Amino acid sequence: MGDFNLLILIALPLLGAAAVAAFRPKHAYGIALIATLAPCLWFVCLATQFPWKTPGTGFLASQSWFAPLGLEFSLGADTVSMLLIGLTVLLGPICVAASKTAINERVKTYYAWLLVLQGAMTGVFCARDVILFYVFFEFTLVPLYILINLYGSTNRKAAATKFFLFTFTGSLITLAGLVYVAWVHAERAHGHWSFNFDSLTNTARTEMSLQQQTWVFWALLAGFAVKVPLFPVHTWLPLAHTEAPTAGSVVLAGVLLKLGTYGIYRFALALCPMAAVEYAPTLGVLAIIGILYAGLICWVQTDVKKLVAYSSVSHLGFCVLGMFALNSIGLTGSILYMINHGLSTGALFLLIGMIYERYHTRSFKEIGGLAAKMPVWATFMVFFAMASVGLPGLNGFVSEFMCLLGTFQSGGATWTRLGEGQTLPAATFGNLGPYFAFAAGVGMIITAIYLLFMVGAVVFGKLKEPGGSHGHGAHDNGRRGQDGHVAGLPADLTWREIGVLAPLAALCLGLGLYPAPVLHALEQPVDAVAASIQQARERMDEMENPGASASAAVAEPAGAAGEAGR
């Protein structure tokens, strides 16, 4: 049966969900907290054993399901998977603890589905069989749909429906692309079907033409781009974020969006490297549009939660841009951006949820200057806003800078030869360049402006609170004083709320001041992906110039190589 350490990470929250359903509602919170803390402790144990600097996949486990169809239960994790699994299990107990006072109705349903969602998300990052990956990937829709639909704000039903339709439709097209690759593999393997990721990767890279890879590439992007979300299929996200309960928004920003970028990295780049080279500029343009367009929309928002929701579209644009720089620096920055965005933006949603609990409004017109009344909350708000802006010394700066640097250098040398038969991925390989980096730099300025405006409006200035009937929420039962504050809640943060935010703040500071361990751990998997993309470019050059040798392709000027790739 193999090593099922990863299966335990998936099973613990699912068992917790069953326990929540079996016991009385008053025990739901305690059971959920234990069921999310246990995977954290188990992950720490696995992390100490994981071969961070060794290429390949750790903690492999495989069991055949139905041999004639090539289905198997295959789990495994490389460095990228482990980092995202770590983010998932970290946010689990944080979301549960943040929901203690926010959720007072149907608590069993809420915590059970929150735990199921964590198990499904962990499964996505562990799966090494594409069908198993798709099952976990698709199953994340159900818990989040229920959480938004039952526990969201006024327009929650429309938000949940739009979220489900967008993501489900795109995922069906993605499934078609994955099955096509499996069919090509079966044709080459004399009818032997396999959905093993490594087998399909070898077949797709060596047997599929540029045209075939193109069709598969866009089929995969149909599902993954919606999940990111990438412009123009982003319109479901702001509504879902705004209407979701606080924990739903944290999970959505922290992990669910990363399923899209992880899918692009794990499948689109691996299965279709030639198509990735061919259409990198197109994806770069879409990422730039998302960065600038969403940033400008944030300028005119009066709802602080909607502003942070639209900021995710802009931030994930940087992540996709770095990924399609197709070089080691950009890819490393993109993966690190996944982690950093989950920490800082997830924390911002937690802070907004804490304000909503107290005032039941998120409007700039009704609240402001809260530093006078909530200094601890204000300190965290400024800290995480600066991390999201990309202030040097905090986590956002490192990943954002690497994405921009990789984009700027993209388009240079294609190979670095150390000797006969020995190569290293060149840092400057790619199809983008300085113009893309300049446009993204403008987006960084816009990001700083709207986030600093938000901080200035909500945190500083004259204290402004909703009076009497203003901001009266659906669940405060009229327990509101003259200052608009819901009775029974302290003005500033409780120790529980500080405990929820403190781990995220520590990681933002740690990754900002000392990101070296994570960067070193990412070197080998990222270099392997960059090398495969370079080989795809060489194959494209050979198809364009059949008589040209590999050495001629290497000596070709960067600009000409880029034209050959297009």
pLDDT tens string, the chain, 566 residues long: the values are 446 788 889 999 999 999 988 888 888 888 999 999 999 999 998 888 887 776 556 666 655 555 556 677 778 888 888 999 999 999 999 999 988 888 788 888 899 999 999 999 999 998 888 888 999 998 888 898 888 888 877 788 888 888 888 888 888 899 998 888 888 888 877 667 778 788 888 888 888 888 888 998 999 998 898 888 888 888 888 888 888 888 888 988 888 888 989 999 988 898 888 888 888 889 999 999 999 988 888 888 888 888 988 888 888 999 999 999 888 888 999 999 999 999 999 999 999 988 888 888 888 888 888 888 889 999 999 999 999 988 898 998 999 999 998 888 876 544 443 344 444 444 455 678 888 889 999 999 998 988 998 888 888 878 887 764 333 333 444 444 444 555 556 677 888 889 999 999 999 999 999 998 888 888 888 888 888 888 777 777 777 666 554 444 444 444 443 443 33
- What tokens does 238 get? 């702001």
Q: Helix (H, G, I), strand (E, B), or coil: what is residue 73?
A: strand
CA angle, 272 then 277 then 279, to 5°: 90
Query: Which residue's entry shows tokens 């879902």?
Result: 240
- Cβ neighbours around 139 below 10 Å, total: 16
Whether cis (ω within 30° of 0) applies to the bond prior to 232 is yes
Q: How far is CA 350 from CA 17, 249, 253, 460, 490, in A?
A: 23, 8, 11, 19, 16
pTM: 0.85
Query: Which residue's entry shows tokens 């099973």?
Result: 11
- Is there a contact between 512 and 383 (Cβ–Cβ < 8 Å)? no
Q: Helix (H, G, I), strand (E, B), or coil: what is residue 441?
A: helix
Report phi then psi at 336, rounded to 5: -65, -35
User: What are the domain boundaries of the chain?
Assistant: 5-470+484-565
- Is there a contact between 28 and 107 (Cβ–Cβ < 8 Å)? yes
Rounded Cα gap, residues 83 and 325, in angstroms: 21
Rounded Cα gap, residues 416 and 87, in angstroms: 34
Maximum separation of any 2 CA atoms in the chain, in Å: 82
Rounded Cα gap, residues 459 and 330, in angstroms: 35
Question: Quick one: DSSP state of residue 187?
Answer: H
Beta strand pairing status for 422-424 and 416-419? antiparallel
- Cβ neighbours around 202 below 10 Å, total: 13
